[in-house]
Amino acid sequence: MMNFGGNSLFLQQKFIQMKKLLFFLAVILLPYYGLFAGEGMWIPMLLKQLNEKEMKAMGMRISADDIYSINNTSLKDAIVLFGRGCTGEIVSDQGLLLTNHHCGYRQIQQHSSVENDYLTNGFWAMSKDEELPNPGLTVTMMKKMEDVTHQVLEGVNEEMTMENRKQKIKENSDALIKKAEEESGYEVTIKDFFIDNQYYMIYNEIFKDIRLVGAPPSNIGKFGGDTDNWMWPRHTGDFSVFRIYVDKDGKSAEYSPDNVPYQPKSHLPISLKGIEEKDFTFVFGYPARTSEYLPSFAVNLITEVTNPPKIKLRETRLDIFSKYANSDPKVRIQYAAKHAGVANYWKKMIGESKGIRRMNGIERKQAFEEKFMVWADIVKGNFGGIIPTFEKNYGEMEPYSLASDYVREAGLGIELISFAARFNNLSEVNKETSDEKIQSLVKAAEGQVKSFFKDYYQPIDQEVAVALLKLYRENQPADFRPEVLNLIDEKYKGDVEAFVEMLFAKSIFNNEAAVNDLLRNFDHRSVKKILKDPAFQAYESMRDFYEQKVGPHLQRLTAQNDSLQRIYMKAQMLMQPEKRFYPDANFSLRVTYGLVEGYHPADAVYYDYFTTLEGILEKEDPNIYDYVVEEKLKTLHSTKDYGPYGDKDGHLQVAFVASNHTTGGNSGSPVLNADGQMIGINFDRCWEGTMSDLMYDPDMGRNIAVDIRYVLFIMDKFAGAGHLVDEMTVIE
């Protein structure tokens, strides 16, 4: 339980006030109480206590212990953090692992060449010796977690300064981690929950030999590309297959040809029974970040102040990328990953701002804050200052947040400038710098030159530069932007094109040979070539502006807000003692549950809960890269050769939606049915519900999963890799 020390004692003593308070809560706050079906990312260890009853009422047939147990094998033993940002799940007794295609994209790409283009054509290891190692890729398995709030907060009190508090918590945590690691042999971390109000110690086993087993071609794994991204109805076969290898003793080890497939304690059974509307489902994985308990001012800053210019800046770049990509296939490949990167959060931000407006999110937070102020006044717990201080801080933050976003999205959105920025370390070389140090810096730089120029197309960048700098100058006041932008007035009479022309003509950083020249025999005398380069100077101007005028203010305000948010979180919990709270996502293992269900995205429009192979053929367009359909898939469709993977009506279901509260990091997570069997792989969220990182709307919050039957169909029928399906525990 949480320890609120003096505050809860205070409440107990003030019986009369308490009664008044309860009456007040009952009358005014109740409508705000109930958790909406589907909302929440729950700690597996606490499911029994907080959620089991509701999960069963919603249709679950297994117990909380089947999902998470310290003493017995449970589903949690099959769920892993894949790399650093995705989830994966073990689906065979030989360590076979499923995740998304977009999660394994990097590895698939790294093994691809013109001769063996696995991205385009897919890859299938037909036996274990064809499986491909991926140095650097890890898979993390949580062994157990423990509440260590008491120990971490030992010696911490409310009178301490922010710095002292931090210091003390760090000392306590370090000592606990050291001891736990020595005793357990696992990697141990401590994570904060409820914004520094609770702490859990997490024991992990980290696997280091992870091999690529299979991936569908991109026109299956990424079907619909960025056009369909974040959207429903969806037809993407977003999965890839890996395998965990360990040493002969079954212990995690670096890659070695002698390593053997991992034999897990548990692997997920797979159901071919399919889904019906209103079926119970849950998603088990590693959601990355949410911020559900922010004040209205913070939500306003994100959705009304900073998202709109970021959206505009990204849109400007994307339009230019697309214009060139559509007319030149080479450029399309060069800019594919960049486009995907910029587009993903561009679209997410649009959906998020729209969603908050649609649900009057800011007004709802404001209404809550009014009640909070009344409550704070009644309990006299020193909480009264929180909301006004937030208001002041977030107001003060606005220009700095914008300034920071413009540097990042506009200034460094120009590839020439962000590439020049990578020479910052070399620009600091002087007579005293050792040869060794110089060599290592040069080597690091050389490593980046080739890959940068491989995917660099100057006409795009130059057009982007003009467009971004114009937006920058139009939207940021002269005293709130890097000096280099004011130079455009002084030296170029405000002519952005002329400035950009000069930048690209005089800089060496858009010329591979010139950059290689610079790096050849680099010594302290070479530094001036960097320092006098106009692209590097542009970067320096942005860096100095940020470091002097923006960063310090942002850091100060962020630290204050974080500290305030901790107290606000605690107060929100005190104020609503009956409410079941879930902690914000923090890259720890969580369970979220909901129902398979469609939704109304707009007036008079209803989206059904599943898609089929027919929809892929409806979307087919041989002229648009993202909508090309493989011949083999068309043949399988026309002969209805779906094997055991088709549904009872003779269709092949491809994807489905359910009301599980997911976020980034849940990519690759298993979607499970009432019996704890896998029915899909989560890979996205519906656009209309993307504000769920800030505020969940039960009517619009839907996660998108690829149906496991489509996954197995692609492996078995399409790719001829049925031996992988044979490894799994498939329930017909």
Query: Which residue numbers are catalytic?
Result: 102, 238, 667
Select from 485, 507, 508, 480 the least CA-distant residue to 496. 485
Residue in the shown chain whose Cβ atom is closest to ligand ARG: 340
Nearer to ligand ARG, 203 or 284 (CB): 284
The CB-of-227 to ligand ARG minimum distance in angstroms stands at 9
Nearer to ligand ARG, 131 or 226 (CB): 226
Asked if 597 contacts 659 with a C-beta cutoff of 8 angstroms, the reply is yes
Collapse the DSSP code of 67 into the 3-class scheme (helix H, G, I; strand E, B; otherwise coil) and give the result.
helix
Nearer to ligand GLU, 309 or 665 (CB): 665
Element containing residue 208 per DSSP (H, E): none
Query: Encoding tokens for residue 657?
Result: 């939606």
* 663 belongs to the binding site for ligand GLU (CB under 6 A): yes
When computed from its CA atoms, the radius of gyration of the chain, rounded to whole angstroms, is 27
Among ligand GLU, ligand ARG, none, partner that 63 touches (CB below 5 to 8 angstroms by kind): none
**Residue from 74, 662, 673, 677 in contact with ligand GLU (CB under 6 A):** 662
Report how far apart, in Å, the C-alpha atoms of 352 and of each of 91, 531, 583, 594, 696 are.
34, 41, 20, 21, 11
The CB-of-87 to ligand GLU minimum distance in angstroms stands at 8
Of 195-203, 223-231, 400-408, 499-507, the window that binds ligand ARG (rule: CB under 6 A) is: 223-231
Nearer to ligand ARG, 189 or 690 (CB): 690
**Residue from 82, 91, 92, 102 in contact with ligand ARG (CB under 6 A):** 102
Nearer to ligand GLU, 119 or 416 (CB): 119
**Residue from 156, 340, 378, 487 in contact with ligand ARG (CB under 6 A):** 340
Query: Torsion angle of alpha carbons 301, 302, 303, 309, nearest 10°?
Result: 90
* 230 belongs to the binding site for ligand ARG (CB under 6 A): yes
Say how many C-beta atoms besides its own lie within 10 A of residue 22's C-beta.
12
Collapse the DSSP code of 652 into the 3-class scheme (helix H, G, I; strand E, B; otherwise coil) and give the result.
coil
Among ligand ARG, ligand GLU, none, partner that 662 touches (CB below 5 to 8 angstroms by kind): ligand GLU
Report how far apart, in Å, the C-alpha atoms of 330 and of each of 76, 369, 456 are.
44, 54, 11
Query: Encoding tokens for residue 587?
Result: 């890259």
The rounded distance, in Å, linking the Cα atoms of 651 and 284 is: 28
* 218 belongs to the binding site for ligand ARG (CB under 6 A): no
* 317 belongs to the binding site for ligand ARG (CB under 6 A): no
* 660 belongs to the binding site for ligand GLU (CB under 6 A): no
* 309 belongs to the binding site for ligand ARG (CB under 6 A): no
The CB-of-683 to ligand GLU minimum distance in angstroms stands at 6
Among ligand GLU, ligand ARG, none, partner that 418 touches (CB below 5 to 8 angstroms by kind): none
Among ligand GLU, ligand ARG, none, partner that 368 touches (CB below 5 to 8 angstroms by kind): none
Select from 105, 99, 93 the least CA-distant residue to 134. 105
The DSSP 8-state label assigned to residue 562 in this structure reads H
The CB-of-681 to ligand GLU minimum distance in angstroms stands at 11
Of 336-344, 390-398, 413-421, 566-574, the window that binds ligand ARG (rule: CB under 6 A) is: 336-344
The DSSP 8-state label assigned to residue 666 in this structure reads -
The rounded distance, in Å, linking the Cα atoms of 465 and 498 is: 11
In the region spanning residues 665 to 704, those forming contacts with ligand GLU, defined by CB under 6 A, are: 665-667, 683-685
Among ligand ARG, ligand GLU, none, partner that 545 touches (CB below 5 to 8 angstroms by kind): none
Among ligand GLU, ligand ARG, none, partner that 226 touches (CB below 5 to 8 angstroms by kind): ligand ARG
* 664 belongs to the binding site for ligand ARG (CB under 6 A): yes
The rounded distance, in Å, linking the Cα atoms of 633 and 645 is: 14
Select from 670, 665, 642, 655 the least CA-distant residue to 728. 670
The CB-of-336 to ligand ARG minimum distance in angstroms stands at 10
Nearer to ligand GLU, 286 or 645 (CB): 286
The rounded distance, in Å, linking the Cα atoms of 613 and 109 is: 26
* 667 belongs to the binding site for ligand ARG (CB under 6 A): yes
The CB-of-41 to ligand GLU minimum distance in angstroms stands at 11
Among ligand GLU, ligand ARG, none, partner that 282 touches (CB below 5 to 8 angstroms by kind): none
Say how many C-beta atoms besides its own lie within 10 A of residue 474's C-beta.
7
* Chain centre to alpha carbon of residue 696: 17
DSSP string, 415-472: HHHHHHHTTHHHHT--TTS-HHHHHHHHHHHHHHHHHHHHT--HHHHHHHHHHHHHHH
The CB-of-666 to ligand ARG minimum distance in angstroms stands at 9
Collapse the DSSP code of 30 into the 3-class scheme (helix H, G, I; strand E, B; otherwise coil) and give the result.
helix
Element containing residue 599 per DSSP (H, E): strand 599-602
Among ligand GLU, ligand ARG, none, partner that 76 touches (CB below 5 to 8 angstroms by kind): none
* 688 belongs to the binding site for ligand ARG (CB under 6 A): no
* 347 belongs to the binding site for ligand GLU (CB under 6 A): no
Determine the size of the site formed for ligand GLU (CB under 6 A). Answer: 9
The CB-of-668 to ligand GLU minimum distance in angstroms stands at 7
* 664 belongs to the binding site for ligand GLU (CB under 6 A): yes
Among ligand ARG, ligand GLU, none, partner that 225 touches (CB below 5 to 8 angstroms by kind): ligand ARG
Which residues neighbour 26 within 8 Å (Cβ) at sequence distance 6 or greater?
none
Asked if 697 contacts 599 with a C-beta cutoff of 8 angstroms, the reply is no
Tokens 């306590």 appear where? 172
Of 239-247, 386-394, 656-664, 709-717, the window that binds ligand GLU (rule: CB under 6 A) is: 656-664
Asked if 717 contacts 676 with a C-beta cutoff of 8 angstroms, the reply is no
Burial code (b: 16+ CB inside 10 Å, e: under 16) for 225-257 equals: bbebbbbbbbbbbbbbbbbbbbeeeeebbebee
The rounded distance, in Å, linking the Cα atoms of 145 and 352 is: 33
Pairing of strands 610-612, 605-607: unpaired
Rule CB under 6 A: which residues touch ligand GLU? 662-667, 683-685
Rule CB under 6 A: which residues touch ligand ARG? 102, 225-226, 229-230, 340, 343-344, 664, 667, 684
